[in-house]
Structure 1
Amino acid sequence: MEASSGLVAGSYRRNELVRIRHESDGGSKPLKNMDREICQICGDHAGLTETGDLFVACNECAFPVCRPCYDYERKDGTQCCPHCKTRYRRLRGHPRVEGDEDEDDVDDIENEFSYAQGGANKPRRREEFSSSSRHDSQPIPLLTHGHGVSGEIRTPDTQSVRTTSGPLGPGERNAISSSYIDPRQPVPVRIVDPSKDLNSYGLGNVDWKERVEGWKLKQEKNMLQMTGKYHEGKGGEIEGTGSNGEELQMADDTRLPMSRIVPIPPSHLTPYRVVIILRLIILGFFLQYRTTHPVKDAYPLWLTSVICEIWFAFSWLLDQFPKWYPINRETYLDRLAIRYDREGEPSQLTPVDVFVSTVDPLKEPPLVTANTVLSILAVDYPVDKVACYVSDDGAAMLTFESLSETAEFAKKWVPFCKKFSIEPRAPEFYFQQKIDYLKDKIQPSFVKERRAMKREYEEFKVRINALVAKAQKIPEEGWTMQDGTPWPGNNTRDHPGMIQVFLGHSGGLDTDGNELPRLIYVSREKRPGFQHHKKAGAMNALIRVSAVLTNGAYLLNVDCDHYFNNSKAIKEAMCFLMDPAYGKKCCYVQFPQRFDGIDLHDRYANRNIVFFDINLKGLDGIQGPVYVGTGCCFNRQALYGYDPVLTEEDLKPNIIVKSCCGSRKKGKNSKKYSYDQKRRGISRSDSNAPLFNMDDIDEGFEGYDDDRSILMSQKSVEKRFGQSPVFIAATFMEQGGIPPTTNPATLLKEAIHVISCGYEDKTEWGKEIGWIYGSVTEDILTGFKMHARGWMSIYCNPPRPAFKGSAPINLSDRLNQVLRWALGSIEILLSRHCPIWYGYTGRLRLLERLAYINTIVYPITALPLIAYCILPAFCLITDKFIIPEISNYASIWFILLFISIAVTGILELRWSGVSIEDWWRNEQFWVIGGTSAHLFAVFQGLLKVLAGIDTNFTVTSKASDEDGDFAELYIFKWTALLIPPTTVLVVNMIGIVAGVSYAINSGYQSWGPLFGKLFFALWVIAHLYPFLKGLLGRQNRTPTIVIVWSVLLASIFSLLWVRINPFVSVTPAANPNAVPGGVF
């Protein structure tokens, strides 16, 4: 019988096996709810071992296979387990086949060479194939016995199982069913042709067909899952053996990874890479032609264009090659639950601290922050494992009181969310959904309770609005609390640290009597004369206070306007951070940003789809995505500045970097590096060992006496983390939790101490620990430092977006936001942490470094971009061009370059799934931002770094849209950022008028060159079209600025008309009687 001859099945109604010739890939079958006593190949009983335990053929996955099928697969089949594809090992009592490993320690000579007789044994082998328990095997512990499941090829009722003396000899046991036939009798095998009527075989009934089809569908589904690329780790070992199928299924699932990499299909990725290489070659020939063929009568224009094109080529390289290895990822929440969160058992999930940051409640409405907090408190995670910290860096009493109201409303909202499993769990956005909210809801009380909850939320909104209205009028003597004491934060620049625990172990329970996650208000101390480092300083204060109070092993930070759209977002991150293969070397899991309230056509590219769905997926295949400032779950140990636990493969040096930069040399800092390496535990071979050990402090320094050595070691730790014994002890708790030696009565006092304004003095906070200082975009610096140490990050993009937030849809607000990002990049470019020269002794991969370089140099592109956008106008006005007359050979490179650019974009959209509209909006805003915000950022950054002129940090307004749909989109707010792109628009329009006028005056022979110049100018205007619409505002309004520009344009056109005088004859000397200014 050939291995590919068909499907072998058995019927419990007939004493026979059937083999169906059916060409199918027949993938492996999921083990879930599988009957462990039934062979999944022939349907017979799997058989027992000599000790009475269930026969197990595969020690890796325990896929149910009987002895005859096991022997057949090893002798004439694939020699592999049908489920996990692992090669079968020879079991005791079974013959040896070709390819088996040598087993010197196994004393089984009488059975090891039973196949040596060859064909003489065939009748016996067929009899063995028909039996379910003819051979002995090496004793294997009984894992479980299965139960029949609908959709499977079932076996007789196994309830009447008794233990008897079996046919294998005295003293051996065999579990049999009273409804089974004598296993010693051979079972005939029939060949079934599926093209014939199966009724003739007794197999044509509907029930049998449904079972077989269900069996094949499960095999195909499991094969699709197995074709993905799994990471190397097995993900744990089976601890003990169970006595039922469910326990074995859980044990088997703990061996499977909790996530997998879904590679981009080669049919999408290979053409994309080929075109990139071709485009690079074509670009080289194009630049060679441009630099060797100057335009002599327009040399300044030609030189400017060539410099711009060279920079654009360099910028394209920085942007393109980090997208060389794009990947997708998929998580398995069910495997996470089986491994760490089994029902009926204490949860083993790791504690998580969630950070929410806010500054100004007038720009960041309290209702928006409240919805974010409510979505965190209702997250699908054990309540004792979640703590929510709200950082109020503005020390506003409005934020404090609104958080108090939020805590009271959470007692009603959280049980409602968990009872009915609603999504999203931010009430404002849940009740705004225009969907069928009754879909999949089966509880009769849902409609009534939903209406009551909506009314409760509306009353909650009224209370918050009343607080906001009250806060508009600040009393002269300042705010006072309910007990009459002055509010400590009346002076926002000079106030003590404040902490208030609203919910938690000591707080109230919800309406169902269940505990709620902790909700803690934090406002760090501020005093004149101390640097506070804005958001980065506030986040570092949260790291310390959370370590003292709850000490979650992982930290998740979100902006105050980014609510949990997916209640399982934390579990999605835990699929990576708690994975044995990833967790020790993953510094953070970054989620994409998704937004609500954006206009349909996304005029100003607020969704940033190209960045999140193309760039970050590309980086995920290298060393991981960059940190984008929100929606990120951190490994706390990575924020403490420690190195990851790397494998031997990870420790191999980068060949390219080593050849370019040389190997690491020992110098004067080698001793210090060796000590830091020892203290961080980087040289550990055991990945399960804790990252820290108190012995590292107790060991001290060599060469000194014990007391002095310990004192110096303790001082070095205090110099790193600050003078807080409680916090330092918490850093040694790798799995989180408060150190057992900590006195709970002193925690609050210690928490106030670690958020004091002078705590970070003479420490490494902001330099090597926590959020890194030195830029308004602290997220880039923080992620860069982690990657430079060798950490990897992961991009998690679940089907349901994890977080959603608001984005500025107003043109001026959007440009100010882009200005802040670009200014932060310039600050990093001019700092010691610049990726161009920093971190070459670390383990930052080359393509990851290119991505970071592109992240900090992109604002400089504004200079060549604005010059290149003005060139068309100058060409039209002066009747010159940046390209000389080209030959047919030279024109080929121009055509090929344009084609390669178009094909690269098309193939990129193909593998990423980004729409062409999103891609075009991104291209448009690249020009808009480049000619406005990026240009200002370059000059402001130079002034700040070189001249010390600081710029104010502007908080992006997150006000709700109360004046109608997208009212903010049409509001015109004048800012200096609008001047450069408006000038580019006007100059190109003037150039078009001048060019057309000159062509009319010169005759039709000049229309050919004019078309190239006009296309160049119109291409610039097309990119600035959204900006032009933003200037005009609503169609029924005419802003004053438009009137001013119209008058200005009319004046310019009049002066230009007089200067050009297009209707004068071209050769006035040839017609002396011509009238100046006429057409005759």
Structure 2
Amino acid sequence: PTPGKEVKGAGGQGCQICGDTVGVSASGDVFVACNECAFPVCRPCYEYERKDGVKCCPQCKTRYKRLKGSPRVPGDEEEEDVDDLDNEFNYKQGNGKGPEWQLRGQGEDIDLSSSSRHEPHHRIPRLTSGQQISGEIPDASPDRHSIRSPTSSYVDPSVPVPVRIVDPSKDLNSYGLNSVDWKERVESWRVKQDKNMMQVTNKYPDARGGGGDMEGTGSNGEDMQMVDDARLPLSRIVPIPANQLNLYRIVIILRLIILCFFFQYRVTHPVRDAYGLWLVSVICEIWFALSWLLDQFPKWYPINRETYLDRLALRYDREGEPSQLCPIDIFVSTVDPLKEPPLITANTVLSILAVDYPVDKVSCYVSDDGSAMLTFESLSETAEFARKWVPFCKKHNIEPRAPEFYFQQKIDYLKDKIQPSFVKERRAMKREYEEFKIRINALVAKAQKVPEEGWTMADGTAWPGNNPRDHPGMIQVFLGHSGGLDTDGNELPRLVYVSREKRPGFQHHKKAGAMNALIRVSAVLTNGAYLLNVDCDHYFNSSKALREAMCFMMDPALGRKTCYVQFPQRFDGIDLHDRYANRNIVFFDINMKGLDGIQGPMYVGTGCCFNRQALYGYDPVLTEADLEPNIVVKSCCGGRKKKSKSYMDNKNRMMKRTESSAPIFNMDDIEEGIEGYEDERSMLMSQKRLEKRFGQSPIFTASTFMTQGGIPPSTNPASLLKEAIHVISCGYEDKTEWGKEIGWIYGSVTEDILTGFKMHARGWISIYCMPPRPCFKGSAPINLSDRLNQVLRWALGSVEILFSRHCPIWYNYGGRLKLLERVAYINTIVYPITSLPLIAYCVLPAICLLTNKFIIPEISNYAGMFFILMFASIFATGILELRWSGVGIEDWWRNEQFWVIGGTSAHLFAVFQGLLKVLAGIDTNFTVTSKANDEDGDFAELYVFKWTSLLIPPTTVLVINLVGMVAGISYAINSGYQSWGPLFGKLFFSIWVILHLYPFLKGLMGKQNRTPTIVIVWSILLASIFSLLWVKIDPFISDTQKAVAMGQCGVNC
């Protein structure tokens, strides 16, 4: 649908099907048939389409929902709320003595359909707040041509009033519609609507994120058009076409059935002369099947989403009025400027400062966890360059707003640019940026050699962060209210440098600790209602990224229960064929879409906008509908027509449930009168409980009650900086719940998974936002060794969670975490264990070739059918998955290849390192992945060889399979043609392994097509030892066969 579809408030818009006027409902609203896109359709056409047509909106193809007063049609959802069943089934529920709904003998039928449209519970209330106003004509509906008699006498309001049908060909004066009496009543009704609209504005100030007049109440009383547009949702779910999704689900079920028959055959048909091989293969296959189930079922209900930025602007950011958009604090984290080049960080910061959002609502916090003077100085240079760059971006509306990547684009930069000065200004700006790069690179060159006495600042004093493990907290505000203006005289967003205090003997919790320090310091200084964190190498590729997130966060239906909006990661600088699956397309475009249809995607560490209240550990505000069983249970079991007693008891228990680890108060408690909270909160909870939860900072504690952001009014601005230094001190978190229940959660190197899991366990939902233009882009390690080390870190984090108290296998049962969401989290933490059966299964083909055995007995045609169906179902599932997701076949194949490469290397190491950490307490120190610029040519880093022990296991698997293939072919040549048939199956098995490891083989050879000597020596040595031992031991030959072979067979042979 076209965003921003306008709806005329007077009801004069034409129906796009028949051309008649759409008309208005009884409450004065424009009749809207489709709540998703507001495509103009009159009620007669709506009723016809539902009864005899395609039952869908002509524009967005969403199935029409039944509006109140409309007759049901097959396929309507079951409704459990109070409905107009009396009108629908033509009876009165009271004493049963109501009048008939058809007046017989008058020659005409009465229209029973109410013209008021059904509004979901989450929509903004009507202007009448659901109460009828005296003088209002609720049944006057031009689209149905029916009216009540204006002179009707008093009737019991509980008894339906007969409605007369209006003949459009007759003069309306005969019905009293154009009489003076009628016009006066309509004018009176409009006046009261305006008054009621003002009441709604005062009653629901939070609908605009903090207050202000509601749209449509301008100086001249604007048309209802603005009001209706402002009521429309800020986003909508775009379902996957049913013909694609249903076929996909059917194939999944068929594959599950085939899998059962397959294992029934495998278990009941062992290989007698190779029992060990058969047993190992069956165990591996069972684990693979379990792994597939954990990965597959969370993708049962994938969805897409669509945002409406124009509706967001109409509701919260109208031109000529103060913006009502909520303030946002943006976090950028960096550690080592030599591995995370300052120029990349500077581009990320510049893209943030130039974002399309009110400047007084944006604050950027850069966390320097390495306390490097290079980061501080480069940020100072960035702030100066931003005074020129930001106005240039906003004047010419360029994308992206990171200068390095903007000037790299090989596109027609004159397209859609109408200002004649653009070319001249662009050339001048590019020259300015080149000079800026020279200054940054000079700082980097200077930082290569550290002085013996340490760094000194411009005033001659020693840099406080010379010792990165022992230094005080540092905060510097570069831009903002008092930081100067840009070249056009406009204010810039606030830019703050933060380096938290570090002292020996304190646990600092790596990135999670740095992010929690940013939460507190930002709450003291600016206290944005929402937080967005990005890595230093992930720049804003779209200047409207914050508005995209606000379409969900500030939506009245979603905002109160959404903990974060996650954007997909997209990358620059990756080779054309994505050799090592750096783009991770399958995960971001398939798995994450599937989770979005359940309880929401996982938090992946960057490109994520948080609700600050969710990070504080508060529970969400849930409706009864949110406590219903999830869509999978509904689709399997069907809708309920009655609410059972057990269901009601369970719902009440869920509504009242409070865990011992849950917050000490909920969001509902906060929203009951923020004014005067100082007195009320002191009555509700003691100061000690607050200090135990949030720490000893009265200013920070007070800020936690400001749900819409902003500094508490009682705060003294002069004391903020001192308090900000206090909340980033190394001992602030002692004996508090930071890292346990609030903020980023400690306990794993993958703190992102733990943090998102804790929020989902409390009942929050998350949203996956995938606009057509990627909102964020970053860099990825394209070198093989760097990529494997990155995967090792992720896998080790999963193993740490597996052996922690937060393991999703047993954590928080009976809570608000949905079943399939739990399954997805279980899959996320157990996948490294798959490396054990995987490496065994990859070695099996070589063993079969070396010993002339096989894992499968001779099979009949009937048994062969199971194998054919098994492979067919695997491919069918993959093809249908690619069909609904839009992922390419090459991306899918690269993902499959790297699953084997990572499983035989990084995941295997992660399992053993995780066990050592849990059982022996041996910790592993990780270095930051290098994000150096590719200055030596396109993809030069791709061919650089870096030694790591992670390369040995997959290289060994490769060599063993190559040796096995040679041995198998040699045996077949010596044995004659009879042995060639069985050989093909074994060779196919071995070639399949080698094809999966082919990108790894290319990475070993590098650009010169030669593998480093050390890798070859180690791998051949291990492979030779393994092969010789196997041939010598030959464990699958029985004692009788050995005796025959040695000529020692006796009478008992």
TM bucket, shorter chain: 0.7 to 0.9
Matched residue, 2:170: 125
| Alignment map for 1:193-204 (pairs within 5 Å) | none
Matched residue, 1:699: 683
Aligned-partner Cα distance in 1 for 2:19–2:956: 83
Matched residue, 2:984: 1011
Q: Is the 8 A contact 1:96 1:115 kept in 2?
A: no
Is 1:98 the counterpart of 2:112? The answer is: yes
Cα deviation per residue 1:557-609 (whole Å; 9 max; x = unaligned)? 00000000000000000000001000110000000000000000000000000
**Larger CA Rg, structure 1 vs 2:** 1
Would the alpha carbon gap of residues 313 and 1051 (structure 1) be closer, same or farther in structure 2, given more than 3 Å must change?
closer
Amino acid corresponding to residue 182 of structure 2 in structure 1: D
Matched residue, 1:681: 666
Per the TM alignment, residue 32 of structure 1 is displaced from its structure 2 partner at its CA by 3.0
Q: Let me know the Cα RMSD of the aligned residues.
A: 4.2
Is 1:718 the counterpart of 2:764? The answer is: no
Matched residue, 1:610: 586
Per the TM alignment, residue 250 of structure 1 is displaced from its structure 2 partner at its CA by 2.0
Which ranges of structure 1 fall in alignment gaps of 5 or more residues? 1-26, 48-53, 145-232, 701-709, 1061-1066, 1071-1080
Aligned-partner Cα distance in 2 for 1:75–1:263: 23
Match among 833, 838, 859 for residue 811 of structure 2: 838
Match among 352, 355, 365 for residue 331 of structure 2: 355
Would the alpha carbon gap of residues 246 and 444 (structure 1) be closer, same or farther in structure 2, given more than 3 Å must change?
farther
Q: Is the 8 A contact 1:873 1:992 kept in 2?
A: yes
Q: Is the 8 A contact 1:584 1:687 kept in 2?
A: no
Q: Is the 8 A contact 2:15 2:42 kept in 1?
A: no
Q: TM-score, normalised by structure 2?
A: 0.80
Per the TM alignment, residue 1041 of structure 1 is displaced from its structure 2 partner at its CA by 3.9
Matched residue, 2:423: 447
| Alignment map for 1:589-600 (pairs within 5 Å) | 589-600=565-576
Is 1:564 the counterpart of 2:609? The answer is: no
Would the alpha carbon gap of residues 385 and 276 (structure 1) be closer, same or farther in structure 2, given more than 3 Å must change?
same
Aligned-partner Cα distance in 2 for 1:482–1:721: 37
Would the alpha carbon gap of residues 780 and 1018 (structure 1) be closer, same or farther in structure 2, given more than 3 Å must change?
same
Q: Is the 8 A contact 1:57 1:70 kept in 2?
A: no
Matched residue, 1:193: none
Is 1:782 the counterpart of 2:746? The answer is: no
Cα deviation per residue 1:685-742 (whole Å; 9 max; x = unaligned)? x978669954563224xxxxxxxxx6xx110110000000000000010000000000
Partner of 1:908, secondary structure, is helix
Q: Is the 8 A contact 1:697 1:714 kept in 2?
A: no
Q: Is the 8 A contact 1:352 1:556 kept in 2?
A: yes
Per the TM alignment, residue 829 of structure 1 is displaced from its structure 2 partner at its CA by 0.3
Aligned-partner Cα distance in 2 for 1:461–1:71: 63
Per the TM alignment, residue 285 of structure 1 is displaced from its structure 2 partner at its CA by 1.2
Aligned-partner Cα distance in 2 for 1:323–1:664: 27
Would the alpha carbon gap of residues 492 and 242 (structure 1) be closer, same or farther in structure 2, given more than 3 Å must change?
closer
Matched residue, 1:423: 399
Aligned-partner Cα distance in 2 for 1:141–1:78: 36
Partner of 1:136, secondary structure, is helix
Matched residue, 1:139: 186
Aligned-partner Cα distance in 1 for 2:298–2:386: 44
Per the TM alignment, residue 99 of structure 1 is displaced from its structure 2 partner at its CA by 3.6
Per the TM alignment, residue 444 of structure 1 is displaced from its structure 2 partner at its CA by 0.4
Aligned-partner Cα distance in 2 for 1:718–1:95: 70
Per the TM alignment, residue 1015 of structure 1 is displaced from its structure 2 partner at its CA by 0.3
Matched residue, 1:6: none
Is 1:637 the counterpart of 2:613? The answer is: yes
Amino acid corresponding to residue 97 of structure 1 in structure 2: D
Aligned-partner Cα distance in 2 for 1:39–1:511: 46
Would the alpha carbon gap of residues 118 and 607 (structure 1) be closer, same or farther in structure 2, given more than 3 Å must change?
closer
* Aligned residue pairs, count: 920
Q: Is the 8 A contact 2:627 2:651 kept in 1?
A: no
Aligned-partner Cα distance in 2 for 1:42–1:1005: 74
Match among 421, 437, 441 for residue 461 of structure 1: 437
Would the alpha carbon gap of residues 70 and 1018 (structure 1) be closer, same or farther in structure 2, given more than 3 Å must change?
closer
Is 1:869 the counterpart of 2:851? The answer is: no
Would the alpha carbon gap of residues 421 and 1041 (structure 1) be closer, same or farther in structure 2, given more than 3 Å must change?
same
Q: Is the 8 A contact 1:681 1:691 kept in 2?
A: no
Matched residue, 2:124: none
Cα deviation per residue 1:358-413 (whole Å; 9 max; x = unaligned)? 00001000000000000000000000000000000000000000000000000000
Matched residue, 2:270: 294
Is 1:513 the counterpart of 2:489? The answer is: yes
Aligned-partner Cα distance in 2 for 1:1058–1:310: 28
Matched residue, 2:361: 385
Q: Is the 8 A contact 1:308 1:868 kept in 2?
A: yes
Matched residue, 1:555: 531
Partner of 1:125, secondary structure, is coil
Q: Is the 8 A contact 1:60 1:86 kept in 2?
A: no
Matched residue, 1:529: 505
Cα deviation per residue 1:813-869 (whole Å; 9 max; x = unaligned)? 000000000000000000000000001132000000000000000000000000000
Partner of 1:650, secondary structure, is helix
Aligned-partner Cα distance in 2 for 1:296–1:123: 88
Partner of 2:942, secondary structure, is helix
Aligned-partner Cα distance in 2 for 1:947–1:70: 72
Matched residue, 1:62: 30
Is 1:957 the counterpart of 2:1004? The answer is: no
Amino acid corresponding to residue 40 of structure 1 in structure 2: G
Per the TM alignment, residue 33 of structure 1 is displaced from its structure 2 partner at its CA by 8.2
Cα deviation per residue 1:159-188 (whole Å; 9 max; x = unaligned)? xxxxxxxxxxxxxxxxxxxxxxxxxxxxxx
Q: Is the 8 A contact 2:23 2:30 kept in 1?
A: no
Per the TM alignment, residue 895 of structure 1 is displaced from its structure 2 partner at its CA by 1.1
Q: Is the 8 A contact 2:703 2:712 kept in 1?
A: yes
Match among 396, 399, 403 for residue 372 of structure 2: 396
Quote the sequence identity (%): 75
Aligned-partner Cα distance in 1 for 2:172–2:745: 73
Partner of 1:680, secondary structure, is coil
Q: Is the 8 A contact 1:238 1:252 kept in 2?
A: no
Which ranges of structure 2 fall in alignment gaps of 5 or more residues? 34-40, 71-86, 88-107, 117-131, 138-147, 154-159, 192-206, 635-644, 1034-1040, 1045-1053
Amino acid corresponding to residue 877 of structure 1 in structure 2: L
| Alignment map for 1:88-237 (pairs within 5 Å) | 97-100=111-114, 109=149, 125=170, 133=178, 136=182, 138-139=185-186
Q: TM-score, normalised by structure 1?
A: 0.78
Matched residue, 1:736: 709
Would the alpha carbon gap of residues 384 and 242 (structure 1) be closer, same or farther in structure 2, given more than 3 Å must change?
closer
Q: Is the 8 A contact 1:526 1:757 kept in 2?
A: yes
Would the alpha carbon gap of residues 531 and 1047 (structure 1) be closer, same or farther in structure 2, given more than 3 Å must change?
closer
Would the alpha carbon gap of residues 55 and 266 (structure 1) be closer, same or farther in structure 2, given more than 3 Å must change?
closer
Is 1:319 the counterpart of 2:295? The answer is: yes
Is 1:276 the counterpart of 2:252? The answer is: yes
Per the TM alignment, residue 642 of structure 1 is displaced from its structure 2 partner at its CA by 0.8
Matched residue, 1:940: 913
Would the alpha carbon gap of residues 520 and 444 (structure 1) be closer, same or farther in structure 2, given more than 3 Å must change?
same
Would the alpha carbon gap of residues 688 and 485 (structure 1) be closer, same or farther in structure 2, given more than 3 Å must change?
same
Per the TM alignment, residue 886 of structure 1 is displaced from its structure 2 partner at its CA by 1.6
Q: Is the 8 A contact 2:11 2:31 kept in 1?
A: no
Per the TM alignment, residue 324 of structure 1 is displaced from its structure 2 partner at its CA by 0.4
Matched residue, 2:860: 887
Q: Is the 8 A contact 1:302 1:883 kept in 2?
A: yes
Per the TM alignment, residue 239 of structure 1 is displaced from its structure 2 partner at its CA by 5.8
Cα deviation per residue 1:589-643 (whole Å; 9 max; x = unaligned)? 0000000000000000000000000000000000000000000000000000110
Q: Is the 8 A contact 1:424 1:430 kept in 2?
A: yes
Would the alpha carbon gap of residues 616 and 671 (structure 1) be closer, same or farther in structure 2, given more than 3 Å must change?
closer
Q: Is the 8 A contact 2:110 2:164 kept in 1?
A: no
Per the TM alignment, residue 1040 of structure 1 is displaced from its structure 2 partner at its CA by 3.1
Q: Is the 8 A contact 1:36 1:64 kept in 2?
A: no
Amino acid corresponding to residue 698 of structure 1 in structure 2: S
Match among 452, 464, 469 for residue 493 of structure 1: 469
Aligned-partner Cα distance in 2 for 1:536–1:1008: 58
Matched residue, 2:796: 823
Would the alpha carbon gap of residues 1050 and 620 (structure 1) be closer, same or farther in structure 2, given more than 3 Å must change?
closer
